[in-house]
Amino acid sequence: MDLKNFNDLITKVKDNDNIKKVAVVAAQDEHTLEAVFRARRDHIVKPVLIGDKPKIKDVLKSLNVEFDEDEIIHVSSDFEAAEKAVEFINENKADFIMKGKLQTADLLKAVVNKEKGLRTGKVMSHVAILEVPSYHKLISVTDGGMMMYPSVEEKKEIIENVVDVFRKLGYKCPLIAVMTAVETVNPKMPETVDADILKKMNQSGKIKDCIVEGPVSYDLIMNKESAAIKGYNSPITGNVDILISPNITTGNLLSKALIESAGAKMAGMIVGAKVPIVLTSRGSTSEEKYLSLVLSASAAK
């Protein structure tokens, strides 16, 4: 089952009776609360607001939102807000986390705490889902936000993380391309060697529930005609679901290029912890935060 656009995803999540609870960390942020209460109106989430209570009340008032102020949890610092959200997850009082007005480092410090955090032993990676006007369905880029220079073993876990997300979205066997500049293995280009190893891992059953292709360049991934001219035959050409980037820079630049130059919309989250984490940048629009909430609600258990 392919999701053609974010409307398909929103409809899918709305059809689910199980409304997820989101712990919003340092919730005193206008765009964040705008997105959260839009998702609440759409019956997608129930918010748990953690942070500076007077500031949260002021933002809610400016947005004309009614919310029981006894339900707002006041804490004295951003880090304490992050710790409280993690505690709520561990006590099953929330289903996933959303970053509000705080530094990413403060949130992740609480998430990766060895004693009280949310680590599972898996790699934590960033999954972006994009709706690109020129492409016929939603497409994912990973990892452009978390793992800087992943090893081949870490790339395997990045693939497993994103496949898990797509399975929860209803895909039986997502099509994956390991992006490189060329489609031949060149020892002087380590990412081509990694791509070849990952493809062989998939063929031998070490990476399951998907088809992995690589090394392969972006033009052959996206354009069937280019692939045919070069004699490149694969089920992923012109129909890929997931793009695996060689490093954080490539993934980040590709996502931003699609947004800024090709009119794409994006949703993003961190996966690999006990629960999804909505970790949009402070400059993200209210819509991007809303779509990220929808995505994380669909991926939360």
pLDDT at 292 over 90: yes
Tell me the C-alpha to C-alpha distance, in Å, between residue 203 and each of 165, 197, 199: 21, 10, 6
| Percent of the chain whose predicted confidence (pLDDT) is above 70 | 100
Q: Read off the pLDDT of residues 50-97 as tens digits, 9 standing for 90 and up.
A: 999 999 999 999 999 989 888 899 999 999 999 999 999 999 999 999
Q: Domain 6-119+273-299, CATH 3.40.50.920 — does that match?
A: no
Are 73 and 50 in contact by the 8 Å Cβ rule? The answer is: yes
| Residue 290 backbone zone (phi > 0: left; psi -120 to 50: alpha; other: beta) | alpha
Neighbours of 182 (CB within 10 A): 14
Measured CA to CA in angstroms, residue 228 lies from 70, 183, 232, 240 at distances of 62, 13, 6, 16
**pLDDT tens per residue, range 146-191:** 999 999 999 999 999 999 999 999 999 999 999 999 999 999 999 9
Q: Is the dihedral of CA 273, 274, 279, 285 positive or negative?
A: positive
Encoded tokens for 252: 């980040």
Q: What is the rounded average pLDDT for all residues in the chain? A: 93
**pLDDT tens digits for 107-131?**
999 999 888 999 998 999 999 999 9
Helix-strand-coil percent breakdown of the chain, rounded to 5?
A: 40, 20, 40
Q: CATH number of the domain at 125-265, out of 3.40.920.10, 3.30.413.10, 3.40.718.10, 1.10.287.610?
A: 3.40.718.10
pLDDT score recorded for residue 301:
81
Give residue 184's pLDDT.
93
Domain ranges for the chain: 6-119+273-299, 125-265
Q: Which pLDDT belongs to residue 2?
A: 87
DSSP string, 95-106: SEEEE-SS-HHH
What pLDDT score does 42 carry?
A: 92
Average pLDDT over residues 197-213: 97
Residue-wise pLDDT for 14-29, tens only, equals: 877 789 999 999 999 9
Tokens in use for 197? 């190893």
Give yes or no for residue 252 having a pLDDT over 90: yes
Mean pLDDT of 244-251: 96
pLDDT at 110: 93
Distance CA 164, CA 158 (A): 10
Using the predicted structure, report yes or no on whether residue 206 has a pLDDT greater than 90.
Answer: yes
Q: How many residues does the chain have?
A: 301
Q: Say what the pLDDT of residue 159 is.
A: 98
Residue 283 corresponds to which amino acid?
Answer: G
* Span 219-237, average pLDDT: 92
